[in-house]
Structure 1
């Protein structure tokens, strides 16, 4: 148990929230909270900041891992400054529980004048990984579909590549996104055909390709007017799958393939220019 007497009230209350103080000090702080409205208001803000911070960090831990980071770990020794910062930050969160909360609460106290202000501030300052996780929920469905259909031998696609004109008309009308089937022979991929999927309750077009080694790649897209309209590519990895997503012209796109494939972003850039 910690002894926090003599420290700032924020520190003492943070230790109280964590249950890291002795019984005598706990009783003292509870008596203070019962009689002092200012101390009680500070306690509530610290508690709200703690809950929000824990949730945001938990979401961050469940975000897809960037492909570049995974490949760097696989391909060579040494730790990049970026990787070292992530490792150090994780260790700090595990070992130091009080001061991060005090810092977060202090920032919240500067930004808000009351509980309502805190809620607005929290909503407007969610970390970028959290935003990306919320915006890319459909990619989880696509990853699940890809794992199932890529193992199919006789029923890999719904409509074969020989009916390419029909595929373009059918999927464009079903999904609401006009497109042209990218020719990716220069990337070593042969077009096999297409499927119509559903993700986040919306129809999704899937164009399926096969490499010379028999690996299955796919281009998936759906109509989307929410989320950032940007040509920036977002690489991530989900277990054995690599994914590169982007948004353009009111639609969301993703290229899916084996996580071991090192040219995923280059492939996505080729697809974006052709589709």
Structure 2
């Protein structure tokens, strides 16, 4: 009925479903299982990709996966009866669907319910959006340029954000300090320190005042499309270093920043 049978077999199946309650029940079960499975596996596609894997792909260091060989079975003769074949296919599909349902729902004793879960945006999502816009600016990369002096930038941002800090010196990492901006993320003021490397790529250090959540000082890597982010919490503030996803040294840079800032 999904285009895998002949017209004569399709008509026979439609006739069967129209007049046989058990066949109709099996069809409804299969359709419900398909919808549930599609929804469950669609959620898996939105899981973040590990930064190490993204970098390996971009740098061309991953090994090519082995091709799987598929052996086609000989087509069955049209003289065979359709109902045994349909029954066998139904049993196979129910086994697959039942196994998937058991794995995904073993923690639920009641009947499965369809739920809509909207992923809440975090301050990191806002930072990623800002970074994509400002990183493209050649003449207006920053709001306050480095030429105005680090003392003036520290006084301005510390009083606006409520976090004392030191501007990290990253020349040894190939980064030149360009200046700073004041942003708003998750409804809070955020300080943004901007750097540029010799290739013109823009890196940013962002931080805001926050309540302690989770283990202090632990670095967490995440991805936002073409951007890599390494975030952590320390002394009542949340920090993140943002850079190109292909940069393999971003975590090491974040370790330096977490110590110096």
* Distance verdict in 2 for CA 1:175–1:55, change over 3 Å: farther
> Would you say 1:233 and 2:229 are equivalent positions?
no
Q: Within 2, Cα distance between the matches of 1:227 and 1:98?
A: 44
For residue 67 of structure 1, the aligned residue among 46, 51, 55 is 51
TM-score, structure 2 normalization: 0.65
* More RCO (CA 8 Å, sep 6+): 2
1:186 offset after TM fit, Å?
1.6
Separation in 2 of the partners of 1:204 and 1:210? Answer: 20
Q: Does 1:114 align with 2:110?
A: yes
2:14 to 17, 20, 23: 23
- Are residues 1:253 and 2:244 paired? no
C-alpha distance after superposition, 1:52-85 (max 9, x if no partner): 514522433xx3x4332122123345538xxx69
Does residue 1:206 correspond to 2:202, yes or no? Answer: no
Q: Give the stretch that moved more between structures: 243-252 or 149-158.
A: 243-252
Structure 1: which 5+ runs fail to align?
3-21, 89-95
Shift of 1:109: 5.3
Partner of residue 130 from structure 2, selected from 145, 170, 173: 145
CA displacement 1:24-79 (0-9 Å, x = unmatched): 564578x4599x9xx9xx9999689547514522433xx3x433212212334553
Shift in CA distance, 97/269, structure 1 to aligned 2, threshold 3 Å: farther
Cα 1:110–1:235 change in 2 (3 A) is: closer
Aligned counterpart, 1:104 = 100
Supply the distance in 2 between the matched residues of 1:180 and 1:66 (Cα, whole angstroms).
30
Matches within 5 A, 1:27-176: 27=18, 31=21, 49-50=36-37, 53-60=40-47, 63=48, 65-79=49-63, 101-107=97-103, 110-115=106-111, 134=119, 137-161=122-146, 162-176=148-162
Q: 1:253 & 1:267 partners in 2: Cα distance?
A: 13
Structure 1 SS opposite 2:189 = strand
In 2 relative to 1, CA 136–222 (structure 1 residues): closer, same or farther, beyond 3 Å?
farther
Given that 1:135 and 1:227 are in contact with CA atoms closer than 8 Å, whether structure 2 keeps it comes out as no
Q: Report deviation, 1:159.
A: 1.9
2-structure distance, mates of 1:140, 1:236: 10
Q: Which residue does the alignment assign to 1:180?
A: 166
TM-score normalized by the length of structure 1: 0.62
CA 45–165 in structure 1, closer or farther in 2 if over 3 Å, else same: farther
- Give the Cα separation in 1 of the matches to 2:176 and 2:184: 24
Alignment partners' CA distance in 1, 2:136 and 2:63? 36
Higher alpha-carbon deviation: 226-235 or 161-170: 226-235
Q: Give the number of aligned pairs.
A: 227
In structure 1, how many angstroms separate the alpha carbons of the residues matched to 2:213 and 2:121?
Answer: 9
Preserved contact between residue 233 and residue 265 of structure 1 (Cα < 8 Å) = no
The answer to which structure has the higher helix fraction is 1
Asked if structure 2 preserves the Cα contact closer than 8 Å seen for 1:195 and 1:205, the reply is yes
Gaps of 5+ in 2: 3-12, 69-91
Q: CA deviation at 1:206?
A: 0.5
Tell me the secondary structure at the aligned position of residue 181 of structure 1: coil
* Contact 2:193–2:205, Cα closer than 8 Å, also in 1: yes
